Structure 1
Amino acid sequence: MLTLIKNARVFSPADQGLNDVLMANGSIAAIAPELTLTGSGVDVETIDAEARWLVPGFVDPLAHFNGGGGEGGFHTRTPVMPITDAIEAGIATMVSGLGTDASTRTLEDMLANAHGLSNLGLTTYCYTGSYQYPVVTVTGSIRNDLILIDKMIGIGELAIADKRGSQLTAAELARVASEAKVGGLLSGKAGVTFLHVGDEQSQLSLIEQVTQDFDVDVNQFYPTHINRHTGLVQQGAHLAKQGMMLDLTCSTTPELVAEGEIPAAKCVAKLLDLGVAVSQISISTDANASLPDFDAHGQLRGLKVGRAVSLLETVQECLRDGIPPATVFAVAASNAAKRLKLDHKGTIEIGADADLNLLCPDSFTLTDVWYRGRRMMNNGEILQRGYFQP
């Protein structure tokens, strides 16, 4: 079936004005102000967007498909993510990592969950490794994981500036980054080193040391949780101007905000004010990770779960705060896609995957979602559920 969306204000993410968009075989086949299909025997579903905003399906560079956490004991391990969480957030592409727990959570289980979500329509990728060093892999090496396993596109989220990390040295991080880079080069993938940044005083100093002392470029690193506090934002802005992509975490809690974390939408505006290029900023959900609350001595006081819908909420807050729509949709879709070398994602152009969201221009409510031309939400109703979901 062909699907023709008419009278949509298209953001590619740049504002293209009112256009019609034709989807065929999972891709975008045509974009024009007035599209008319002629000929008999052509099965076409036509949808009038009524001037709603048609935007790229969002790209989430960090989620946790098989859950995570457990910092409060086995009973606090977070649950597996269902596909409905991604659909209700308008996220068409997600990348999963392990995190703190690489003992009871495994890369193999994460890959199985990634394939399961793919079977239901979501585009999925994974990072090899976890918080820890030496790096946990499937094949025995970072390089081989990236070369031999299709869904593996980098290493992450390796922890720095965090008591839960392995306190790795600059030489060890340089070696990991080099292995990831070569694995990416040989497989045609991004080969990024995706870093979890904790709230310790060392901040991003390890990255600075690696790039000063070793032959590793700053843009090899892709750090997340940059919105933890103002000092980290400022140091991140400095490195972003040297070419490093920064990722902001949308999931948060009142406790974390009270301790200085900056909500992602506010941090996007802050980074732009600091002179960081739009192209150097992305946002992620940390979906199904644990969001622990530690005291000054590292003792756990409580934890909550990261939410996929936090990305949509951040998009809506950015728009309400007056950030230009083209900027917002670049931050939520195209920037991560480009950094991760997902060439057919995060954009509305001929030949790109037909991952599309329809938003109301007044309330910014998400009404319709397509994954590679397949309708996943219709007027707010989710059409695809997990195998065991009611």
Structure 2
Amino acid sequence: MLTLIKNGDVFTPDYIGKKDVLIGGGEILAIDENITLAGTVGVEMINAQGMHVVPGFIDSHVHIIGGGGEGGFNTRTPELTLTEATKAGVTTIVGVLGTDGFTRTMPDLIAKAKALTEEGITCYVHTGSYHVPIQPVTGRIETDLMLIQEIIGVGEVAISDHRSAQPELNELKRLAAEARVGGMLSGKGGIVNVHIGDGADKLSLLEEIARTTEIPITQFLPTHINRNKDLLQAGIIYASNGGRIDLTTSNLPHEGESDLKCSKAFKKILSRGVDLSLVTFTSDAQGSLPRFNDKGEFTGLGIGEIRSLYDEVRASVLEEGIPLEQALQVVTRNVAKALKLKGKGELAIQNDADIVLLDKQDLSIDTVIAKGQLMISHKETIVKGTFE
């Protein structure tokens, strides 16, 4: 079966004008001004008139088997479902463990990634959790990356946070070195996804490693950079020195700090001249969003939503005036390049056919295609998860 998307305005994420897109076998076969397959048997036509045709979104920080638990067992959050992702335009996910790397395990995480992939999207995972030293599935970070297909990096390792294992500099150096070698040998990104908390040290450990070793600053992908104003400012400096930074779309800003909203923080970062290619968004979906008082006592809880990824891309354009092609990059190309996700993040020939159609008027999601399969059509769910 071939699918021909006609008459849409195509963003690769760069805008290339009105084009037709032909897909088949799960891949993009052609992008051209006028692809004609009149009379060809087995061609499904999608009229994208009035639509933007964009790459499927990549969310590289999702607690796919749930997270949380900081307020007790009843605060454990639920697993992600397939349609929660597809309704948000997300066609590629990276699953992570967080605070609870004890009752939520790597075998569970890998099994859930396999399930989501079988249901129709693409899902990878990182090995490890908040805690250092991590406990790789195979006993070594390098062999986890080399021998387990779904594992593409390490994390989410926590620093500057009262819930972290308080890792020392040499521990993080060793972890990053192992992740780098494992990534090189496996042909994967091997990045270290780093949870940054409210602590005073902020990004200093990562900066020290970049200064004192041969490990490049891009080996790390620190997230939750829009957690507070001081961390956001530190993140801007970090990115100005060549480091990647990730903004969380599900964050709960402190009272009176609406400028920490992801889209607003993104605009501020761009206004400071930060290289756009170094910025990404992630949702922290299904992760708990706990609140603590100044004594570190648990006071309340929210939950991350994968829909927030799309919402903040949309808000970046409609509320903050950021061009669509720039807003798209932080959930497509930039993520794929940072994690070395082959065939992802761009509409290009031989890349995976992960495509979203957005209504030009309000940027609402009309159609979602994952690996060539129609998941959402005219806002109607076509494919649901096994138990949905």
The TM-score range, normalised by the shorter chain, is: over 0.9
Identity, % of aligned positions: 43
> Which runs of structure 2 are paired with 1:1-20 in the superposition (5 Å)?
1-20=1-20
Residues 229, 260 of structure 1: 8 Å contact kept: no
Equivalents in 2 of 1:201, 1:96: separation in Å? 28
1:339 alignment partner in structure 2: 338
Return the letter of the residue paired with 1:265.
Answer: S
2:307 alignment partner in structure 1: 309
Equivalents in 1 of 2:220, 2:255: separation in Å? 26
Aligned residues: CA RMSD: 1.2
Equivalents in 2 of 1:73, 1:16: separation in Å? 51
What is the CA deviation profile of residues 148-198 of structure 1, one whole-angstrom value per residue up to 9, with x for unaligned ones? 111101101100100000111111100000000000000000000110000
- How many aligned residue pairs are there? 387
Secondary structure of residue in 2 paired with 1:358: strand
1:370 alignment partner in structure 2: 369
2:244 alignment partner in structure 1: 245
Return the letter of the residue paired with 1:125.
Answer: Y
> Which runs of structure 2 are paired with 1:174-323 in the superposition (5 Å)?
174-253=173-252, 256=254, 258=256, 262-320=260-318, 321-323=320-322
Equivalents in 2 of 1:327, 1:334: separation in Å? 10
Gaps of 5+ in 1: none
Aligned structure 1 segments of 4 or more residues deviating by more than 6 angstroms: none
- TM-superposed CA distance for 1:261, in Å, is 7.1
1:50 alignment partner in structure 2: 49
What is the CA deviation profile of residues 318-366 of structure 1, one whole-angstrom value per residue up to 9, with x for unaligned ones? 1102101110111121100111001211111111111000001111100
With structure 1 as the length reference, what TM-score do the two structures score? 0.97
> Which runs of structure 2 are paired with 1:122-133 in the superposition (5 Å)?
122-133=121-132
1:104 and 2:103 are equivalent in the alignment: yes
Return the letter of the residue paired with 2:154.
Answer: I
Return the letter of the residue paired with 1:309.
Answer: R
- TM-superposed CA distance for 1:208, in Å, is 1.4
Return the letter of the residue paired with 2:25.
Answer: N
Equivalents in 2 of 1:6, 1:51: separation in Å? 11
Return the letter of the residue paired with 1:30.
Answer: A
1:26 alignment partner in structure 2: 26
Equivalents in 2 of 1:132, 1:31: separation in Å? 45
Residues 257, 263 of structure 1: 8 Å contact kept: no
Residues 30, 349 of structure 2: 8 Å contact kept: yes
- TM-superposed CA distance for 1:213, in Å, is 2.6
Return the letter of the residue paired with 2:118.
Answer: N
Equivalents in 2 of 1:96, 1:264: separation in Å? 21
- TM-superposed CA distance for 1:240, in Å, is 1.4
Q: Specify whether residues 197 and 289 from structure 1 end up closer, same or farther in structure 2 by C-alpha distance, changes over 3 A only.
A: same
